[in-house]
Amino acid sequence: MQTNPTHTSLVAIGDSFTEGMSDLLPDGTYRGWADLLAGRMAARTPGFRYANLAVRGKLIAQIVEEQVGPAAAMQPDVITLVGGLNDTLRPKCDMGRVRALLEEAVERLTPACKHLVLMRSPGRQGPVLERFRPRMEELFACVDDLAARHGALVVDLYGAPSLGDPRAWDVDRLHLTDEGHRRVAEAVWQTLGYEPEDPEWRTPMPPTPPPNWTARRVEDARFTRQYLLPWIGRRLTGRSSGDGLSPKRPDLLPYEGPAA
C-alpha cells in the first residue's frame, strides 16, 4: 500500500456500523467512523467526494441488492464494505448464502474502485454475542479469504483489545460510542496507507474501577428492557430498525464535515 496516498473519493456501504450509530450529533443525526474518515481525507484533498449508503439493520442480501450497484456505478477511489454481521445474529442464518452474497459483492465492487476495504468487525464480550461468535468468526474467515483472492484490504477490528472494552460501546451494547468510532476511523486511515495520527488506537483504555454488583444489575435490567427485548422481537418477526429509512448521503458529492 502506498504511503500517504491521495484519494479523491470514498463510498461507504453496509449497516448501522457504517451509518454511524451511536455517534450522535447535537442535531440528532449520526456521524460515525466513515464520516470521520471522509473528513480527514477531505482535509488533504480539495474537492474530495463522499457518499454513505449504509442503513441500519440491513442484511447482506439487502446490501447487495440496494447498495452494491450504486456504489460500483460511482467509481470512487475507495469503497468500504462491512456487512453480514446482522445475518449472523438472526435466529436462523444460512452461512453458505451469506458467504456467497459477500463474494458476489466483492466481485462486483473490486473492479469499480482502486481500493476495496473489508473489515473484521469489532465484538465486545458478553453472553448474548457468545452464542453467535462461531458464526461471526466464520464470516471473518470468509472476509480474509475474499481479500486474499481479490486484492482487497482488511481492517482487523475484531482483534483490537481497545474495541473489546465495554466503554467503547453504547448502552445498547451493539453500537460503538464516539470514541469507538474514532478508533475505527484511525484503523481504516492507517490501512489505506496514511501516516498514523493515533499509533496506539489498539491499546486498551486506562483501567477504571468496575461498577459494583448493584450498579451492574440495574444496568443489565435497563439494557434488557430498552434494547435486548425489542431487538429479539425484531429478529423473531423479521422487522428491521432500518425499515423505511434512506441512506444519509446517497450521492457522491463534495464533503465538508468533521475532520477529527
pLDDT in tens, 42-80: 999 999 999 999 999 999 999 999 999 999 999 999 999
117, part of any domain: yes
Residue 206 domain boundaries? 9-254
Split into its structural domains, the chain has a count of 1
147, part of any domain: yes
97, part of any domain: yes
Which pTM was predicted?
Answer: 0.86
- Sheet harboring 249-254: ordered strands across? 153-156, 115-120, 78-82, 9-14, 49-52, 249-254
1, part of any domain: no
pLDDT at 227 (0 to 100): 46
CA torsion sign for 174, 248, 243, 83 is negative
260, part of any domain: no
2, part of any domain: no
Q: Pairing relation of β-strands 153-156 and 78-82?
A: unpaired
Query: Which pLDDT band holds residue 208 (cuts at 50, 70, 90)?
Result: low
pLDDT at 259 (0 to 100): 46
| Mean of the per-residue pLDDT values of the chain | 86
pLDDT at 234 (0 to 100): 54
CATH of the domain at 59: 3.40.50.1110
4, part of any domain: no
pLDDT in tens, 73-109: 999 999 999 999 999 988 889 999 999 999 999 999 9
149, part of any domain: yes
